[in-house]
Chains A and B, each alone.
Chain A
Amino acid sequence: MTTNLHPALRLARLTKRFADTTAVDGIDLTVPAGSLFGLVGPNGAGKTTALSMAVGLLRPDAGEARIFGTDVWRDPVAAKRLVGVLPDGMAMTERLTGREMLTYLGRLRDIPAHELRRRVDELLSVLELDKADRTLLLGYSAGMRKKIGLATALLAAPRLLVLDEPFEAVDPLSAATIRAILRRFVAGGGSVVLSSHVMPLVEQVCDTVAVMNGGHVVAAGAIDEVRDGRSLDEAFVALVGARTAGKEELSWLAS
């Protein structure tokens, strides 16, 4: 397939401004095909904005995003066939059960009925959501919402997964399941981009990493290059710059 010649995701000079803030400032980023790519950065670094522009949910002010060579903003239909997305904190079709939502979205993606039923059963069972068959999404806990969101992203067997904070609010057992799913997805030829705040987790899961700060990519490459002999946590603090409270600050806390 010609798409294999291209990186899974390529962002070029991607820019987004909100009022007088530049959330993402002309970033360039390449996610190699077959990689498990971690995007890390402090709060407000521009990770969510960048990922939203990368998949076609937020129109950039400048620059381009390509998924396996297909321009997301010029040919959105073709690009969206290649990608499964888990946005952070957004609503879903809340008045459906998890099974109903997966069936609904699978149907929209033209997955044949018998195959769809098999995938839905398997996804619900693997992510341990099959017991919540009579619960509307509105009644799901934060962790369950992440898991059903991941199931949504996986459902159409995309070639690239873009996951915004997939491990947030997920219990350790489910996190292990998700890690296993992602590794298997990559082993089967898929590519993953995930954003996270949890450095040890990114170290454990990802082979490539980019660090964003203030709307810029401040480091990117194979995880060992970026770590440069330190832990990712230490490398991150060195790249982003840490601020610790001085002695006189917050002194009232002790009183």
Chain B
Amino acid sequence: MVGVLMRTKLRVLRHSFTGTRAAQMVSGATAGVLAAAATVWLVLANGDRAGDMLAIVLASWVIGWVVGPMMSGTDPGIRREHLALLPLTHRQIAIALFGAALVGIGPAVTLVALLALVCYGAALGGTAAAMGLLAAVLTVLLVVALSNVVVTGIGGLLHSRWSAALAAIPWGILICLAAQGWVVVVAVTGGPDKGLPAALTTALRAIPSGWPLAAVEAAGRGDWPVAVGALAGLVALTGAALLVWGRLLRRPVTPPVIQPAGGRDWQPATARAAIVGKELRTWSRDLVRIHFLAFALVYAATYTLLPLLIGSTDYLPLTGVFAAVLAVGASAHLYSSDGTALWQTLMTPGVERADVRGRQLAWLLTVGPVAALLTAAGVVANGRAELASWATGLLPVVLGAGAGLVVLVSVHVPIRITDPHRRGSNPGQDGGAIAGLVWLAIGALAVLSAPVLALLGLGRARHDQALMWTATPAGIAIGWMLAWGFGRLAARRLARSGPELLARIGTT
């Protein structure tokens, strides 16, 4: 069964290598190969500190595997639902799906990256290098199993608005720590040049992500009980993960449906009000959307609170800006997320402009107040006028450009996501492969905010407070123009190429 599914997955991958999917796969593979090359380079370039660097990088790869799918969505290709009618136990299904999950770009790239263990081992002797190869393979098995346990487990946890929001907390914190871990390192070690403290290097080898490294190093010094023990630990943990996965698969896959409150007397006055009302209801009832928004907030808060560890409150005023930036990334597939429901818009004569404007307004009403509140709180907590001007200059341009980008990007770069009525509410499986769009939107935001950033940077360089404050009206003006202009372009695109968009989104 495992062999059959692995071959099927390979075929699925080959067949899905078309159009946007192929572009996504190529860009994902390229990013993965670069990350893998960087991992190997870290080992080769770091001499006597290579082991410690590798310990940190291994932890990052494991964290990436555990949290990645929750944030960017994946399409597993073969789903448990496909196997529901086969006479197999849940454990057998877990093992079969495990085999299928091992076939893909992610596991292949990870294996390449983990060959850094072989490079590291080679410096310690032939046996250590061989041990490195074995450890690399076992680690790939472990991360794939863990990743699937997390995705399946979270799917079971998301059954209400609160659980969807709360489930974002650990991921927001973990990913932010992975990106901003240096703050913790600096806080603990007192500076970048001092190397890691012994307690930390030991801890990094004691946690499961460090076991492959521990095995290689133990083999290098001939400490066989530790080497074999570390490998056995990897195998045991993978086995345990598969057992848990089998248990989690017993849960039904039907999506949870929120019970709406009231709504009987909803009588919107205009077409635009109807669309705003529809969108606001969707934002508050779609567990995947709630999860992504909560993630944006948690990530932004962690990002700006973390520097408090080294006594800096300088990031606090920007909490709202960061939250808004991440919310733009999480909404860049706005039209695709509705799936083929787009037909209802296309069949309503002349509604395209109202649809785009209504969606923009609803997005602003959802993200704007929270971002403004976070900004105000951060400015007050920090108390420095100079930093406040950064926040008040950047927030309007990010919100305005964001309101433009979420519609413009999503009508130009449609992605295929399983239709809402055919999928569950698991962001790990049903959120769609949105990672590329997230980066596209965030990159575009950076470019569009450049004039405001230039004013702020120039003002700072010249110690000219007045110049820095001109960034605020400039931010409002540019933000408004971008929201208006991008919305116009999106509406025109929708009116001209609506059927093409539907054809590319459609999965039926």
Contacts and interface: CB of A to CB of B under 8 A. Distances in A.
Contact of B264 (A56, A133, A139): A133
Nearest to A149: B344
A245 interface: no
Contacts of A93: 278, 282, 338, 341, 344
Given A93-B341, A95-B282, A57 B347 contact: yes
Interface stretch (A35-43, A73-81, A183-191, A203-211): A73-81
Given A93-B338, A134-B259, A145 B267 contact: no
Nearest to B273: A107
A152 B344 contact: yes
B285 A57 contact: no
A103 to B, nearest CB: 6
Interface string A59-93: 10000000000000000111011010101111111
Contacts of A57: 343, 346-347, 499, 502
Nearest to A87: B343
Interface stretch (B205-213, B312-320, B349-357, B473-481): B349-357
A147 B25 CA distance: 40
Interface in A92-136: 92-97, 99-100, 103-105, 107-110, 113, 116-117, 133-136
A46 B163 CA distance: 45
A127 B442 CA distance: 47
A77 B278 contact: no
A97 B263 contact: yes
A139 B260 CA distance: 12
Nearest to A136: B257
B341 A92 contact: yes
B346 A56 contact: yes
A138 interface: yes
B348 A105 contact: yes
B421 A145 contact: yes
Interface in B407-456: 419-422
A89 to B, nearest CB: 5
A145 B340 CA distance: 14
A125 B28 CA distance: 51
A108 B351 contact: yes
Contact of B338 (A78, A91, A133): A91
Given A107-B274, A110-B271, A139 B257 contact: yes
A56 B347 contact: yes
Given A95-B281, A103-B266, A108 B271 contact: yes
Contacts of B339: 91
Contacts of A58: 499, 502-503
A103 B259 contact: no
A85 B340 CA distance: 14
A138 B255 CA distance: 8
B286 interface: yes
B263 A138 contact: no
B278 A96 contact: yes
B369 interface: no
Contacts of A116: 267
A232 interface: no
Contact of A95 (B267, B285, B343, B502): B285
A77 B350 contact: yes
Contact of A100 (B281, B343, B421, B503): B281
Contacts of B349: 76-78, 80-81, 109
Contacts of A91: 338-341, 419-422
B268 interface: yes
**Which of A57, A77, A116, A139 has the most B CB atoms < 10 Å from its CB?**
A57
B274 A108 contact: yes
B346 A90 contact: no
Nearest to B500: A59
A106 B274 CA distance: 9
B45 to A, nearest CB: 48
B277 interface: yes
A91 B335 CA distance: 13
A104 B343 contact: no
B348 A109 contact: yes
Given A57-B499, A59-B499, A110-B271, A97 B260 contact: yes
Contacts of A113: 267
Given A57-B346, A90-B419, A100 B338 contact: no
Contact of B420 (A56, A81, A138): A138
A55 interface: yes
B286 to A, nearest CB: 6
A227 B499 CA distance: 36
Nearest to B286: A95
Contacts of A202: none
Contacts of B350: 77
Nearest to A135: B257
A138 B285 CA distance: 11
A137 interface: yes
Contacts of A92: 341, 344, 421
B263 A99 contact: yes
A133 B263 CA distance: 9
Contacts of B268: 103-104, 107
Contacts of B354: 108
B278 A104 contact: yes
A93 B347 CA distance: 13
Contacts of A80: 347-349
A90 B508 contact: yes
B508 A94 contact: no
Contacts of A76: 349
Given A59-B500, A104-B268, A94 B274 contact: no
B420 A108 contact: no
Interface in A146-187: 152
Interface string B224-266: 0000000000000000000000000000000101111001101
15 contacts: A59-B500, A78-B349, A80-B348, A89-B508, A90-B343, A91-B339, A91-B340, A92-B344, A93-B338, A94-B420, A95-B286, A108-B271, A108-B348, A108-B354, A136-B258
Q: Which 9 A-B pairs have the closest CB atoms?
A: A107-B274, A139-B257, A80-B349, A91-B341, A90-B340, A94-B420, A95-B285, A91-B419, A77-B349
Given A57-B502, A81-B349, A103-B274, 9 more contacts: A58-B503, A80-B348, A90-B419, A107-B274, A108-B351, A110-B271, A133-B264, A135-B259, A152-B344
